[in-house]
């Protein structure tokens, strides 16, 4: 996992939608069998904002912003099925967000909007997924993809989680605001030539 190094004035945060049971245990088993070193340290989740540096004095602003975003975002019906990989760009195999990806994208855009302290372009294009294995051999990634293809998860995401990376390397849950809005994502209108 690519985690930025924080100076004393900074901290590392991540924003996720947790994967509930029984699917969380299934994903953890797949990661463990693949030899993924993070299998027992990171709970399975859909990443909304990957590990990101922010100034420590912006943390309270981020908490407030995330609460506002969650309050106007409806719960998200997610269906995870099938597997894909980010190879050759990154050695990651993942569980596909088969439905609910558009709503995750809208949540990501709202969190990164100019209203909040995370208003900056992400390092990689946003692609909602649940990691099945990372940083292991190609054979282990292939095995994780095959085993993970049996997972078929459907659930309603009711909360979004804000995590802080502690000095010991553990992720601490700081905030879990409820997705309480009634809205739905606006359809984007394509402009320009294809």
Q: 10-22 burial, b if ≥16 CB within 10 A, otherwise e?
A: bbbbbbbbbbeee
Task: Identify the pLDDT of residue 185.
Answer: 47
* pLDDT at residue 36, as a whole number: 95
What is the distance between the alpha carbons of residues 23 and 20, in angstroms, rounded to a whole number? 6
What pLDDT score was predicted for residue 170?
Answer: 85
Mean pLDDT by 10 residues, the chain (194 residues): 68 95 97 93 93 92 96 97 93 96 96 88 85 95 97 97 89 95 52 36
* Phi and psi torsions of 84, nearest 5°: -145, 180
Give the model's pLDDT for residue 166.
87
Q: Cα(122)–Cα(69) distance, rounded to whole angstroms?
A: 18
How high is the pLDDT of residue 114? 86
Report the C-alpha gap between 1 and 11 in whole angstroms.
16
Distance of CA 12 to the CA centre of its chain: 14
């Amino acid at each position: 996992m690519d985690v930025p190094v924080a100076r004393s004035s900074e901290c590392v945060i991540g924003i996720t939608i947790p994967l509930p049971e029984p699917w969380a245990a299934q994903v953890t088993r797949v990661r463990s069998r693949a030899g993924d070193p993070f299998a027992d340290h990171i709970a399975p989740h859909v990443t909304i904002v990957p590990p990101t540096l922010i100034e420590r004095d912006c943390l309270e602003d981020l908490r407030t912003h995330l609460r506002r975003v969650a309050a106007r975002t409806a719960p998200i019906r997610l269906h995870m099925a099938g597997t894909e990989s980010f190879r050759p760009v990154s050695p990651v195999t993942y569980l596909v967000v088969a439905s609910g990806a558009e709503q995750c994208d809208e949540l990501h855009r709202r969190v990164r909007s100019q209203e909040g302290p995370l208003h900056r372009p992400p390092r990689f294009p946003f692609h909602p997924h649940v990691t099945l294995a990372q940083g292991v051999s190609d054979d282990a990634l292939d095995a994780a993809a095959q085993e993970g293809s049996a997972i078929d998860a459907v659930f309603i995401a009711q909360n979004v989680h804000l995590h802080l990376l502690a000095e010991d390397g553990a992720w601490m849950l700081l905030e879990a605001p409820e997705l309480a809005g009634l809205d739905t994502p606006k359809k984007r209108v394509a402009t320009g030539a294809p």
